[in-house]
Amino acid sequence: MKTTVSTHKLPGYGATLRTAKRLTEQAVRIVNRAVPGRMPDVEVTLTTERGMAELAAAATLALVGSTDRKATSRAEREAKQVARGVLACAIPRPDGSALVLVIADKHRDDGEFAVTLVHELVHAMQFSRKDVVERLVRDKRDALGIERQSRRQAREFLHLLEQDEREAHGKEHLARQIVPAAAA
């Protein structure tokens, strides 16, 4: 399990990057012990809202294996919409690792960052479980208009996605072990 922390189109955030590296190292250790599964190699990237949309679209297209122009524009549009409403996102990669994109400007303090990081690392652990990545790929291919999935598969995906989100929210309390002031 290898962990890297970097920035993307975020100049002048040296202190934030150092803090992120320290918090990520601690969060990976804690989440690895508390959540069932195997922690994959994780790349945490601090970025802006626009940078998150750009990187998320590229990672999604690499995951679904599409270079179709229509799918590319849909992925970019969806990534921009998602980036407006979230603090971070975790995306599995074809090589088995996970990409965690964090919008640095939307976090007021270390405690909020730690909660977000723990939440996304729980999702990274979920990617190692049986059939999770396959379900995500199938749903993304359907959303991008590449390959249809049945209604039953779509309902099952939404149910399991809700379950995964509940688990991630339930583990946010672990952030208090990293930053005691973290409010989960």
Q: CA-CA distance, 4 to 126, in Å (whole number)?
A: 19
pLDDT higher than threshold 90 for residue 180? no
The full set of domain ranges for the chain reads: 3-177
| Cα–Cα nearest to 119, from 18, 19, 44 | 44
**DSSP tally for the chain: helices H, then strands E:** 6, 4
103-126 pLDDT per residue, tens: 999 999 999 999 999 999 999 999
| CB-based contacts of 8, cutoff 8 Å, min separation 6 | 45, 46, 47, 51, 55
Are the CB atoms for 42 and 49 separated by under 8 Å? no
Q: CA-CA distance, 141 to 125, in Å (whole number)?
A: 22
Q: CA-CA distance, 66 to 83, in Å (whole number)?
A: 21
The set of long-range contacts for 132-135, using a CB threshold of 8 Å and a minimum separation of 24, is 132/92, 132/160, 132/164, 133/92, 135/160
Binned at pLDDT 50, 70 and 90, residue 76 comes out as very high
Binned at pLDDT 50, 70 and 90, residue 184 comes out as low
pLDDT of 21 reads: 97
Are the CB atoms for 121 and 152 separated by under 8 Å? no
pLDDT of 97 reads: 97
H/E run at residue 46: strand 42-47
Section 33-52 average pLDDT: 96
**Tokens representing residue 136 in the block:** 């995500």
Specify the amino acid at residue 7.
T
- Conformation bin of residue 5: beta by default, left when phi > 0, alpha when psi is -120 to 50: beta
